[in-house]
């Protein structure tokens, strides 16, 4: 579902607090997504909805008409009707909701490069990243694999590049794609854009905090 923009984010050992903690799950244990894999089932109607946190730390789900608490019976019934499949919104269990990394990040320089090179609209919401940081050098983050970065009181270990899929080119998170990214990403970038990281030190970061490379590989 579409996410939210935060001025202040808290990180625990799992990642951004609450990020992908809920998922829409069918009776076979597959999660609703924009793609089919061993864990996911393509259910594009999930992108008609968005989720946000409300005090005191509750998650609500909305569409263009109504709003429901995450996990409520009314929401489950509505989603099942919309998707024509029995589904429920559930918290993370034995099968993780995350992909290869707990946290994802990309630089503004990388986004600008993509816009200039391929003529794409470089809205970072199409990448569904957690952290967008300002930089002058495109793809500088790709040289940080195995390194540690700090932002606010959070320390992150950079794991490696994030491999993109068809989700980058579908309407989601409040963004209607005007251009296609996946074809040039496949031909020129081996489908990689943005980086995954794991949390070393939990903490908080806020808009305008400085991101610093603290240790090198």
- Rounded-to-integer distance, Cα 204 and Cα 154, Å: 6
Q: Phi and psi at residue 101, in whole multiples of 5°?
A: -150, 155
CA-based angle 9:11:12, to the nearest 5?
A: 155
Q: Are 146 and 91 in contact (CB under 8 A)?
A: no
Instruction: Read off the CATH number of the domain in which 153 is found.
Output: 2.40.33.20
Q: Is the pLDDT of residue 217 over 70?
A: no
Residue range 74-92, pLDDT digits in tens:
999 999 999 999 999 999 9
- Rounded-to-integer distance, Cα 72 and Cα 74, Å: 5
Look at residue 6 and tell me if it is in a domain. Answer: no
Q: Is the pLDDT of residue 99 over 80?
A: no
Nearest 10 degrees: CA dihedral of 195, 199, 203, 205? 0
Q: Are residues 74 and 152 in the same domain?
A: no
pTM value is: 0.92
DSSP conformation class of 30: P
Q: Are residues 151 and 202 in the same domain?
A: yes
Q: Are residues 115 and 197 in the same domain?
A: yes
Q: Are residues 82 and 130 in the same domain?
A: no
Pairing of strands 58-62, 87-91: unpaired
Q: Are residues 28 and 55 in the same domain?
A: yes
Q: Are residues 152 and 75 in the same domain?
A: no
* Structural domain ending residue among the three candidates 91, 124, 146: 91
Count of helices and strands (H, E) across the chain = 3, 16
Look at residue 130 and tell me if it is in a domain. Answer: yes
What's the structural domain count of the chain? 2
Q: Are 107 and 134 in contact (CB under 8 A)?
A: yes
Predicted pLDDT of residue 97: 87
- Rounded-to-integer distance, Cα 132 and Cα 104, Å: 9
Q: Are residues 121 and 152 in the same domain?
A: yes
Q: Are residues 119 and 153 in the same domain?
A: yes
Look at residue 119 and tell me if it is in a domain. Answer: yes
Predicted pLDDT of residue 175: 87
* Structural domain ending residue among the three candidates 55, 71, 91: 91
Look at residue 135 and tell me if it is in a domain. Answer: yes
Residue range 4-15, pLDDT digits in tens:
999 999 999 999
- Rounded-to-integer distance, Cα 35 and Cα 17, Å: 25
Predicted pLDDT of residue 173: 84
Look at residue 8 and tell me if it is in a domain. Answer: no
Predicted pLDDT of residue 139: 97
Query: Which value, in Å, is the radius of gyration of the alpha carbons in the chain?
Result: 17
CA-based angle 133:149:2, to the nearest 5?
A: 45
Look at residue 11 and tell me if it is in a domain. Answer: no
Q: Are 6 and 209 in contact (CB under 8 A)?
A: no
Q: Cβ–Cβ contacts within 10 Å for residue 58, how many?
A: 12
Look at residue 71 and tell me if it is in a domain. Answer: yes
Which strands make up the sheet holding 22-26, listed edge to edge?
A: 40-42, 31-33, 22-26, 87-91
Q: Are residues 45 and 125 in the same domain?
A: no
Look at residue 24 and tell me if it is in a domain. Answer: yes
Residue range 23-72, pLDDT digits in tens:
999 999 999 999 899 999 999 999 999 999 887 778 999 998 899 999 99
Q: Are residues 211 and 118 in the same domain?
A: yes
119-136 as b/e: b if 16+ CB within 10 A: ebebebebbbbbbbbebe
Range of the domain at 31: 17-91
The chain-wide mean pLDDT, for the chain, equals 93
Q: Are residues 178 and 202 in the same domain?
A: yes
């Amino acid at each position: 579902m579409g996410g939210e923009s935060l001025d202040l984010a808290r990180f625990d050992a799992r990642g951004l607090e609450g990020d992908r903690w809920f998922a829409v799950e069918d009776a076979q244990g597959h999660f609703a997504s924009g793609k089919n894999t061993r864990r996911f089932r393509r259910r594009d109607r999930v992108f008609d909805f968005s989720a946000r946190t409300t005090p005191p730390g509750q998650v609500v789900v909305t569409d263009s008409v109504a709003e429901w608490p995450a996990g409520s019976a009314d929401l489950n019934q509505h989603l099942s009707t919309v998707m024509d499949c029995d589904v429920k919104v559930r918290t993370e269990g034995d099968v993780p909701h995350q992909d290869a990394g707990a946290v994802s990040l990309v630089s503004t320089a990388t986004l600008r490069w993509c816009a200039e090179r391929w003529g794409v609209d470089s809205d970072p919401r199409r990448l569904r990243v957690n952290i967008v940081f300002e930089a002058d050098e495109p793809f500088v983050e790709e040289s940080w694999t195995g390194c540690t970065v700090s932002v606010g009181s959070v320390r992150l270990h950079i794991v490696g590049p994030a491999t993109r899929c068809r989700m980058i080119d579908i309407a989601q998170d409040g963004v209607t794609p005007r251009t296609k990214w996946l074809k040039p990403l496949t031909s020129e970038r081996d489908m990689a854009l943005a980086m995954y990281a794991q949390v070393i030190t939990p903490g908080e970061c806020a808009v305008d905090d400085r991101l610093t490379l603290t240790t090198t590989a």
